Structure formats: C-alpha cells, structure tokens
Amino acid sequence: MAEASTASWARRALVIVGHGSSSQPEGGRSVEALVETVRARGIFADVRAAFLRMGPKLPDVLDELAGRATYIVPHLAADGVVGEALSGAVAARKSIVICRATGTHPDVARIAARRLAELCARFALSADRLGVLVAGHGTSRNPDSSARARALVDALLAAGAARESAAAFIEEPPSIAEWDRLLAAADIAVVPLLMAEGRHGGSDVARLLGVEPDGTEAPFAGPFAMRGRRLWLMRPLGVDPGFADIVLARVTEADD
C-alpha cells in the first residue's frame, strides 16, 4: 500500500457491504469479522458493516457517515451484482467511491489453493489425485457469477492445486448435485465460492451435495462416503481472514 494512500485513508470511512439475509442473520458474520480486522489496523477514520438484505442497510449507514468521504467495498462474489445492488443506494451522494467486489480479486485463488493445501496436509491427501468442485451461486440475471467460478477452476488447475476441477451451481446448470458426473477423482474437495455462511453457504451447498455438516466452524466437514467416493466440504471462501488484505487492495486500486 502506498504511504500517500494510507495517509488519506485516515480521514475517510470504509463500509464493507455484504448481501445478508433477514431470515438468517448469521450470514452477516463474515462481513462483521472483516470489519473488526480492518478496524483494528487503525488506518481509516471509521469502518462499518452494511448489508443489502438485512440491517444495518447501506443507505442508513451512509446517512450516518454523511459529509465524510467514504469507500464502499462489496464483500460479494461478482462485480455484476455490485452495479445492480449498489447504484440506487449511493445515488445523489457525494464523496463516495465504490470499489470492485472482493470475490473477483486474483488473490481469491491463492486463498483457495492455501485452504486446499491445508486439507491435503490434514488428511494425507495428494493434490495430484484430488478433484475440486468449485460451488458457486450462478444466476441467469448475472453471467459474471458463473464466470467467476469457472475462472477459479482455471486458476486452481494452473496452480497445481488439484488433479481436476469443475464448477457447479446452486441456481443454474450444472447443478452441485451432479458433482459425481463432473469429476472422476476418488477424493473430492468442495470449495464454495460464496462470501458468507447464510442460506446458500451454510445449507444450500450441503443440501445439494446430500451431506450433513456438523454445525461447527471447523474449516472442513468430512470426509463423507458418497457414491463410492470420499468428499470434503469447506467453509465458504469469504469467511477466510485473508479477505482483509483483499479489502485494502480494492481500496488501493480505487485510488490509482
């Protein structure tokens, strides 16, 4: 981070925005954890959490910060969602900079590769025999959502993090439920390209896989004996503390 940039940040606010869910408030924990981590570094005048589907909602937080220059960093998996969801909230407001989504940063692949290496070390697995299913949301309204999952597949293969990898989705084909058709490996790790453990990250992926996570915050659930294979389910990528550095990288890019 450039020294000039961080000096200016001390006069500005940062709002990290998550999707959130009014029915599952636990989906906001990843954003709240990011806020605490970045706030502890003491480089912004104020650091807040805001959400699109639960409180505190983004317009309300921006009202409280009125008059202060503010960066908005969406803790979302795709940029396409950012334009749709945030444009109305910031309309006619001054001194606001919307940064790119955290989930589209190249370092997401490094976080995923590191977590796969941790899985392999813990369970004595070999990356050159491992299959990886990147589980994304997917939606016909936003092709960027599935494109990001497929880009992560390519990045993991290029990094040698797995023998084979494929993308599957909650709301578009191929479905996560088809994981055994998409991958041939005997050992399979499921990496949710999701930013929180709400309905999608906390239950939909497991439901489509046909597994029952133990409900703890352990980094990996499994192994599950499924369809003649062994399968592990990771926590959503967005809960990884490494995203704090991605938040700051997005703000730095916005200053360039």
| Architecture of the structural domain at 107-238 | 3-Layer(aba) Sandwich (3.40)
pLDDT digits (tens, 9 = 90+) for 13-61: 999 999 877 666 677 888 999 999 999 999 999 999 999 888 899 999 9
Across the range 79-93, mean pLDDT stands at 71
| 3-104+240-255 and 107-238 share one fold | yes
Tens of pLDDT, residue by residue over 135-194, are 999 877 777 889 999 999 999 999 999 999 999 999 999 999 999 999 999 999 999 999
pTM of the model: 0.91
**Under CATH, what is the fold of the domain 3-104+240-255?**
Rossmann fold (3.40.50)
Say how many C-beta atoms besides its own lie within 10 A of residue 219's C-beta.
Answer: 14
Higher model confidence: residue 119 or residue 139?
119
Domain ranges of the chain: 3-104+240-255, 107-238
Using a pLDDT cut of 90, give the percent of the chain over it.
70
Long-range contacts of 164-167 (CB under 8 A, 24+ apart): 164/131, 164/132, 165/131, 165/132, 165/133, 165/134, 166/131, 166/132, 166/133, 166/134, 167/133, 167/134, 167/135, 167/136
* Closest to 37 in 3D by CA, of 83, 73, 78: 73
Is it the case that residue 4 has pLDDT exceeding 60?
no
